[in-house]
């Protein structure tokens, strides 16, 4: 989702409660696929509702992308865009409410409506419908996962530990659940220590094990591999050697030069920390993207300083 898209949604839905979320907490929701009777008119109406939701979100993002690329937009045109977005979203919201008025116990419709509301920054409305979905169909892991995301944002965070575990128990093959769980345990280490009665090192081990399981299930996901590799910076002390291995694995699944050069920066940083200065320079020499220029310069300066200090300490 583009930044402008998020901004437009925030502006036109200003009356909705703001989402008190950390950008570090994974926002993905798991996909729960059920076998449904496509000849059932209720299920046909439900699918049409989902299609309407998807189409509206595509349109809103397209409009905001176009507005963002346009030059010299006036305040009046921005207002028109806000109105178009609001009308589009209002139509989808009404369609959900009409459907649920007729089919109040349709668990997947409550789940989908909750996701729509969450996407449009009505987090309180979202959790109400996710909770209803969970009550109607406690075997649906996506409902547990989505509620776990909510509790990770709003608290109590220990609820999120319980709910992620339940989602995994219901579907142990969905990598998103493991990733979300890993991020939450990693971020809320003190809560995890108290909840699981373990120390901080063991909390790190738990989070890293969850990451590894997610990677096993989704081995080509570069963002996931990068998140896992970055986790080694936060351990006490940092596990530089393990981080080096993780970044080398992330490098294998990088999709383009931008991602690869980003990994080179991390590898150079870790080699610097391990006093592997020639290797650090080799990684930095491969970074040519101007977007990394400032970071490359700073790390190169740190490496040079570390080399100088090492030489001073060396025996004559």
Q: Per residue in 114-145, pLDDT tens? A: 999 999 999 999 999 999 999 999 999 999 99
* pLDDT exceeds cutoff 70 at 110: yes
For residue 137 the two structure tokens come to 């169909």
Mean pLDDT over residues 175-179, rounded?
Answer: 97
Query: Within 10 Å of residue 87's Cβ, how many Cβ atoms?
Result: 10
Question: Residue 275, by phi and psi: left (phi above 0), alpha (psi -120 to 50) or beta?
Answer: left
Residue 22: pLDDT band (50, 70, 90) is: very low
Whole-number pLDDT of residue 80? 84
Q: Are residues 139 and 163 in contact, defined by beta-carbon separation less than 8 angstroms? A: no
- For residues 280 and 273, what is the distance between their CA atoms, to the nearest angstrom? 9
- Phi and psi of 264, rounded to 5°? -55, -40
Residue 233 has pLDDT above 90, yes or no: yes
pLDDT value of position 70:
59
Provide the percentage of residues in the chain whose pLDDT is more than 90. 74
Query: In angstroms, rounded to a whole number, what is the distance separating the alpha carbons of residues 118 and 218?
Result: 25
Classified by CATH at the fold level, domain 219-316 comes out as 1.25.40
Q: What is the pLDDT of residue 28?
A: 47
Q: CA-CA-CA-CA torsion for 6, 10, 11, 12, nearest 10 degrees?
A: 100
DSSP state of 218: S
Give the mean model confidence (pLDDT) for residues 188-207.
Answer: 97
156's tokens: 């109590």
The arithmetic mean of pLDDT across residues 225-251, rounded, is 96
CA atoms within 13 A on the CB side of 128: 5
Picking from 21, 27, 22, 32, the residue whose alpha carbon sits closest to that of residue 179 is 27
pLDDT at 83: 87
pLDDT, averaged across the chain: 86
pLDDT (0 to 100) of residue 256? 97
- pLDDT bin (cut points 50, 70, 90) of residue 310 is confident
d(CA 186, CA 166) in angstroms, rounded, equals 18
CATH of region 140-217, choose from 1.20.120.50, 3.30.420.60, 1.10.10.10, 1.25.40.10? 1.25.40.10
User: 1-18+37-137 architecture in CATH?
Assistant: Alpha Horseshoe (1.25)
Residues 130 and 35: their CA atoms lie apart, in Å, by 20
What gap in Å lies between CA 178 and CA 294, rounded to an integer? 34
**Pair of tokens at residue 122:** 């009505």
- Report, as an integer, the average pLDDT of 95-107: 96
Element (H, E) at 249: helix 240-252
Q: How far is CA 48 from the centre of its chain?
A: 27
Q: How confident is the model at residue 63 (pLDDT cuts 50, 70, 90)?
A: confident
User: Which pTM value belongs to this model?
Assistant: 0.82
CA 311/CA 26 separation, integer angstroms: 44
Give residue 76's pLDDT band: very low, low, confident or very high (50, 70, 90).
low
Question: So what's the pLDDT on residue 285?
Answer: 97
Query: Which residue would you say has higher pLDDT here, 24 or 88?
Result: 88
- What does the radius of gyration of the chain's CA atoms come to, in whole angstroms? 23
Does residue 140 sit in helix, strand or coil? coil
The percent of residues in the chain predicted with pLDDT above 70, rounded, is 83
Residues 6+ apart with CB under 8 A from 302: 272
CB atoms within 10 A of CB 101: 8
Task: State the Cα–Cα distance between residues 142 and 30, nearest whole angstrom.
Answer: 5
Q: What is the pLDDT of residue 82?
A: 84
- The DSSP code sequence of 17-43 is PP----TTS------------TT-HHH
Point out the least confidently predicted range of 26-40, 138-152, 221-235, 242-256.
Answer: 26-40
Average pLDDT over residues 284-302: 96
Is it the case that residue 262 has pLDDT exceeding 90?
yes
How much is the pLDDT for 69?
64
Mean pLDDT, residues 2-8 taken together: 40
């Amino acid at each position: 989702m583009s930044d402008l898209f998020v901004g437009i949604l925030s502006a036109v839905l200003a009356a909705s409660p703001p989402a008190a979320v950390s950008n570090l907490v994974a926002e993905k929701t798991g996909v729960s696929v059920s076998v449904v009777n496509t000849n059932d008119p209720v299920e046909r109406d439900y699918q049409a509702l989902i299609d309407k939701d998807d189409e509206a979100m595509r349109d809103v993002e397209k409009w905001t992308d176009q507005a963002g690329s346009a030059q010299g937009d006036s305040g009046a045109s921005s207002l028109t865009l806000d109105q178009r977005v609001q009308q589009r979203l209002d139509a989808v919201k009404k369609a959900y409410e009409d459907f649920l008025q007729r089919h109040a116990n349709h668990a997947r419709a409550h789940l989908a409506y909750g996701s729509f509301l969450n996407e449009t920054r009505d987090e309180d409305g979202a959790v109400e419908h996710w909770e209803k979905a969970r009550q109607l169909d406690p075997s649906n892991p996506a409902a547990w996962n989505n509620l776990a995301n909510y509790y990770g944002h709003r608290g109590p965070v220990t609820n999120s530990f319980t709910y992620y575990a339940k989602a995994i128990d219901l579907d142990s093959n969905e990598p998103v659940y493991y990733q979300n769980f890993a991020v939450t345990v990693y971020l809320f280490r003190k809560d995890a220590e108290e909840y699981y009665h373990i120390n901080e090192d063991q909390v790190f081990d738990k989070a890293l094990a969850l990451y590894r399981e997610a990677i096993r299930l989704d081995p080509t996901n570069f963002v996931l591999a990068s998140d896992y590799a970055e986790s080694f910076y936060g351990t006490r002390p940092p596990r530089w050697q393990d981080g080096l291995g993780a970044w080398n694995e992330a490098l294998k699944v990088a999709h383009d030069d931008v991602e690869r050069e980003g990994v080179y920066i991390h590898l150079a940083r870790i080699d610097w920390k391990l006093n592997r200065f020639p290797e650090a320079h080799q990684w930095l020499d491969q970074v040519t993207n101007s977007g990394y220029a400032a970071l490359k310069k700073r790390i190169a300066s740190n490496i040079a300083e570390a080399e100088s200090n090492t030489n001073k300490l060396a025996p004559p």
